[in-house]
Amino acid sequence: MKRVLKDLYGAGVLFFYYIKWPFVIWLVTAYLYLDFKDNIILDILWIWCIILIVKDFVYKFILKKSHCDNGSCKKD
């Protein structure tokens, strides 16, 4: 069971890290131009991707934080 949850977590991280921008653009295009029917699951994923995009924007440009702030990425 622990292995399955670990795999699901890894898949979720990869999905939301690499697919959030294309997914947001694709879903808007699908609804507006391809006459997609409403789907609550896709809507929830779209909202979650928008939240992650806003979070990335805030961390990068407003708070100016990165994963290297704690000194773990020092160049020797």
Residues in the chain: 76
pLDDT at residue 74, as a whole number: 60
Asked whether residue 20 is domain-assigned, the answer is: yes
pLDDT at residue 61, as a whole number: 75
Asked whether residue 13 is domain-assigned, the answer is: yes
Could you tell me the pLDDT band of residue 16, with boundaries at 50, 70 and 90? Answer: confident
Asked whether residue 41 is domain-assigned, the answer is: yes
* Residue span of the structural domain in which 16 resides: 2-62
In three-state secondary structure terms, 70 is coil
pTM of the prediction? 0.64
Asked whether residue 72 is domain-assigned, the answer is: no
pLDDT at residue 15, as a whole number: 76
Note the pLDDT tens digit of each residue in 25-70. Answer: 888 888 888 888 888 888 888 888 888 888 888 877 777 666 565 6
Contact (CB, 8 A) for 16 and 49: yes
Cβ-Cβ contacts under 8 Å for 37 (sequence gap 6 or more) = none
* Number of compact structural domains in the chain: 1
Asked whether residue 75 is domain-assigned, the answer is: no
Residue 59: CB atoms within 10 Å: 13
Angle, vertex CA 15, rays to CA 56 and CA 4, nearest 5: 125
